[in-house]
Structure 1
Amino acid sequence: MVSTLINANPIIYEKKERRTRTSPPTTNDDYAVEPIDQLEIFDILRDIKDPEHPYSLEELKVITEDAVEVDDHRSYVRVTFTPTVEHCSMATIIGLCLRVKLMRSLPSRYKVDIRVAPGSHATEAAVNKQLNDKERVAAALENPNLLDMVDECLAPSYN
């Protein structure tokens, strides 16, 4: 991952128990047959690995269930994440990972808004602007080094 750690000793939290689904969500091309809800979005994002540590974003409380807002009727999802430190240099990478995971998981009709929690990052406005600018996101994903880092964070872990 990263050679010098911004937060060498993060607080690790216990993972929440997974919710059991009676059946997997079904989709019909771009439209979900069953509405997508907050817990489903959280389940999609909870196992993303932190770029600096071998822990998930859930274990570091970078992402929580309460930080996910969904309006299925308007096809809108907002995820607010909290970096572990105010000067986290990985905040844009984390946000990019959240965006890419949702782009790969949700029907294309959804508008996704990724935000840093208010007051949780020194350059909050700049990070939010980068994460929600389609051209900047597209340019970032054209960079093979950034894309490799994102893919590494999104790769499933088997522990």
Structure 2
Amino acid sequence: MRHMALLAFLSIIVFLFLLTQYFPLKYYDIIVQNCKSLDPLLVISVIKTESSFRENAESSLGAYGLMQLMPETAEWLNKKFKTNYDYKIPEDNIALGCLYLNYLMEKDGDIYKALVHYNTGPYASDEIKNDAGERYIKKVMRNYKLYKFLYRR
């Protein structure tokens, strides 16, 4: 009976280890430096959803990097916040993505609306916001719940 308990315990440890490999804390220190009032685990969940930590990820629409920023959005953020980040550099991509998420949170006052606007852009039709935005929220929040389960300190 003790062998079964030990086997069950070891299985749980291996499972949690594998989960941490699939849900890593990559770039965590950079995220903490840039997230302001956002939960760093939420930001890392956005990165997981957007690019799965592929630094050079590029969408068919031209969004780039870890946080999948459109070049126009990066340019707008640099002008608005008087920064000079290069969205093609991973650390800068995170800084710009955090600036954008923080801005959207302040503007929208709600994390769900902010995430929809982050994903679809501010000028998307209501149909796109409702369809793509809702699916996106589900993905980010699923990742966020897993990250909180694994790493909440």
TM-score over 0.5 for the pair? no
Structure with the higher helix share, 1 or 2: 2
Q: How does the TM-score come out when normalised to structure 2?
A: 0.24
Q: How does the TM-score come out when normalised to structure 1?
A: 0.23
Structure with the higher strand share, 1 or 2: 1
